[in-house]
Amino acid sequence: MADISDEELEITHSSGLLYNEDLAPVKKASRTWGWFEIFNVWSNDIQSLFGYTLAASLFISYGLNGWLVMAAIILAGCVVMVLVNLSGKPSVKYGVPFPVLIRASMGVFGANFPAMLRAITGIFWYGVQTYFASTALALLITALFGDPGGRWLGMSGVDWLSFALVWVFQVMLFWQGIERIKHFLNWAGPLVYVVMVALMIIIWYQAGSDLLPAIDTIFSGSSDFKGSPANAFLAITGTMIAYFAAVVINFGDFTRFVKSERQMKIGNLVGLPLNVAFFSFIALIITAGTLALFGETMTNPSDIIAHVDSLPLTIIAAITFFAATVGINLVANFIPPAYDLANLFPSKISFRTGGLITACVAFVVGGLWVALISNIGIAGFVNAIGAIVAPFYGIIVVDYYLLRRQKLNIQDMFSRDPDGAYYYIKGWNKRAIMAFALAAIFSVSSVWVPALEALGGYAWLIGAALGGFFYHLLMLGKRPSIEQQARAR
């Protein structure tokens, strides 16, 4: 990767409609993230309450033995590592976030379309994760003071109080900037591992020495899944890939702060295959242990800790699970929509303003999670929202690596000049929009159309692959001109 100097990243001509300081390239001298920060993005993601609940539910949803489920989750980690190495590399080089990077393929105004869809997806995730983080706080409050009872929209008074407190805490942390969020992640991720390992040891000790042998069969027959074991294995892999999809698409929002591509790759290696292997083993033992001990599989750590009946563990676990869920919620579901909304009206919406809009809409989403949204089902919810934005991944990768050969004109990304490399037709690349539409119809249909139900777990991968394929097909003969490539670095 050819090195780019800070002088070349200085925007010398830009339109106020396309530029603000939050969207501008991050200079090399200002980048402070290394492999450990990237590792903690992933560790907080998978160790959040929602991440654990999804992983644990996969052990009981397909009727496979636990080791095969664990292998499928690890495979998903390996696939995601390859995907984010590809999507993160351009932002390491040029220092721009996802909504600016995608201007190269969608057009300087056309980029608002994927940015808006990604913002909607992130806002939904943000609301859901805020609810899950609040369950940890509710567990702590209930353990210390009890729950007076009474429910509204499926949540008690303690639940609503916890939800509101978490919402306010996240906004306050976000307001202090990316560096404070980085420090928060760096202690939250490792601390959650300590609590998870402690919980695993307690469950394993109480379940006894027969737990490991029982894992081969303990989940067999516990599912209504009618497909073959191979189909179940691939469906689990696809669902876990879809869980990471929101971060895969806009990984550049984080890698723009990373010192080098090597640091990014090390962080992805440690944070994905290795981290996911260890985490899935913990989830496997705990999930099997709850079935052996309590006669039912529990997928929410808060419920498991409540059954263990240890006040010190409850307090520590509530704090750490809260921290991990808040951390990944800010990084994966708050920061991206903030950038995406800022990209819509750069001269009017700042990064912080975009964050406040995200928080307000997400409050409604999180408040309706128990009563309404969760009825869709966790796997279906993950696959559906991932499928909507999946084609943009394929479009970005094909455009950057095949069409532009890893060279972008950073100045034209912020320019409304009709002769600019990314202006296309009135700022829109209609071929890219068409590629997205064709791919999205199929990937979303694979989730919601009963006849395509067997493909639901692969919806994200199908959408991404088709998006790249259709984009490459439609852009044949439209490669950048010699003059445009000469201006690119």
Give the total residue count for the chain: 489
In a domain, 174, yes or no: yes
Reported as a single tens digit per residue, the pLDDT across 72-124 is 999 999 999 999 999 999 999 999 999 999 999 999 999 999 988 888 878 88
Can you tell me the distance from the alpha carbon of 81 to that of 85, in angstroms, rounded to the nearest whole number?
Answer: 6
- pTM metric for this prediction: 0.85
In a domain, 464, yes or no: yes
Of 346 and 78, more confident: 78
Beta bridge partners of 156: 151
pLDDT at residue number 88: 96
- 486 band by pLDDT with thresholds 50, 70 and 90: very low
Is the pLDDT reported for residue 34 higher than 90? yes
Contact present, 363 and 127 (Cβ < 8 Å): yes
- State what percent of residues in the chain have pLDDT above 70: 90
Neighbouring CB atoms inside 10 A of 32's CB total: 13
pLDDT at residue number 483: 45
Reported as a single tens digit per residue, the pLDDT across 410-436 is 999 999 889 899 999 999 999 999 999
Which two three-digit tokens encode residue 417?
């000049």
Write out the E strands in 65-217.
151-152, 155-156
Range of the domain at 354: 28-487
- Pair type for strands 151-152 and 155-156: antiparallel
What is the DSSP annotation of 275-335?
HHHHHHHHHHHHHHHHHHHHSS----HHHHHHHHT-HHHHHHHHHHHHHHHHHHIIIIIIH
In a domain, 6, yes or no: no
In a domain, 142, yes or no: yes
Can you tell me the distance from the alpha carbon of 302 to that of 147, in angstroms, rounded to the nearest whole number?
Answer: 15
CA angle 248, 253, 259 (to 5 degrees): 105
Neighbouring CB atoms inside 10 A of 413's CB total: 25
pLDDT at residue number 2: 58
Can you tell me the distance from the alpha carbon of 198 to that of 313, in angstroms, rounded to the nearest whole number?
Answer: 9
In a domain, 62, yes or no: yes
Of 309 and 448, more confident: 448
Reported as a single tens digit per residue, the pLDDT across 222-275 is 566 677 788 888 888 988 888 887 789 889 999 999 999 999 999 999 999 999
Domain of 206, CATH number, reads 1.10.4160.10
Can you tell me the distance from the alpha carbon of 325 to that of 342, in angstroms, rounded to the nearest whole number?
Answer: 24
Is the pLDDT reported for residue 204 higher than 90? no
Helix (H, G, I), strand (E, B) or coil at 214: helix
Q: In terms of Cα–Cα distance, which of 126, 101, 125, 99 is closest to 113?
A: 99
Q: Bin 406: left if φ > 0, else alpha if -120 < ψ < 50, else beta.
A: left
Taking the CA atoms of the chain, what radius of gyration do you get in angstroms?
22
In a domain, 16, yes or no: no
Is the pLDDT reported for residue 386 higher than 70? no
pLDDT at residue number 393: 94
In a domain, 455, yes or no: yes
Contact present, 155 and 163 (Cβ < 8 Å): yes
In a domain, 23, yes or no: no
When divided into structural domains, the chain yields a total of 1
CA angle 19, 424, 4 (to 5 degrees): 50
C-alpha dist (Å) from residue 163 to 157, 181, 325: 10, 20, 13
The pLDDT of 275-284, averaged and rounded, is: 87
Beta bridge partners of 152: 155
pLDDT at residue number 224: 63
Can you tell me the distance from the alpha carbon of 38 to that of 22, in angstroms, rounded to the nearest whole number?
Answer: 20
Which two three-digit tokens encode residue 171?
């906004």
- 482 band by pLDDT with thresholds 50, 70 and 90: very low
Is the pLDDT reported for residue 51 higher than 50? yes
Is the pLDDT reported for residue 287 higher than 60? yes
Reported as a single tens digit per residue, the pLDDT across 139-179 is 778 877 777 777 787 888 899 999 999 999 999 988 888 88
Contact present, 423 and 108 (Cβ < 8 Å): yes
**Side-chain half-sphere CA neighbours of 329 within 13 A:** 33
